[in-house]
Amino acid sequence: MGTEMSSEANTGPTGEQGIPDTEPGGGQGIDWAALKAEAVRAMGHAYAPYSKFPVGAAALVDDGRIVSGCNVENASYGIGLCAECGLVSSLQATGGGRLVAFTCVDGHEELLMPCGRCRQLLYEFGGPELLLETIDGPKPMAEILPYAFGPHDLSRGA
């Protein structure tokens, strides 16, 4: 999912709109308000008829694109998808890349932290330096998910 940003935003290599004045990976110049606005937009598409808890997420990719996702529930409950799952699917479907900055909101447009499973998913696609917006300001994934299991662990074999 791309974003519907203003014409002031830079366009990424795929032609999708990006966040203005962004320095990927450095945290300086990341327009957290624009990311939150995209997460709120995505949250508006959530399918949450059972929990009544819509969630939207948005992230900046290292090439300037913004990807987003929303939660999608299912009557069997256990196979619902978190917003982060949709975001990562969008990332891969639009060319891949590394996540640089991430935010997530609930139905009241308040910041929401990813669940444990989603922290692991975000780590896979952003690594320890991925910045997550928290109520205490942006924090690197290494602080949110310390001692994370990742692809490097698989190289050791069984």
Task: Identify whether 129 is a catalytic site residue.
Answer: no
Q: Dihedral through CA 132, CA 32, CA 57, CA 60, nearest 10? A: -80
Identify the active-site residue in 16, 38, 73, 84.
84
Q: How far apart (Å, rounded) are the C-alpha atoms in residues 18 and 30?
A: 11
Nearest to 65 by CA among 121, 125, 19, 4: 19
Phi, psi of 18 (to 5 degrees): -120, 180
Q: How far apart (Å, rounded) are the C-alpha atoms in residues 96 and 128?
A: 18
Active centre residues (catalytic): 84
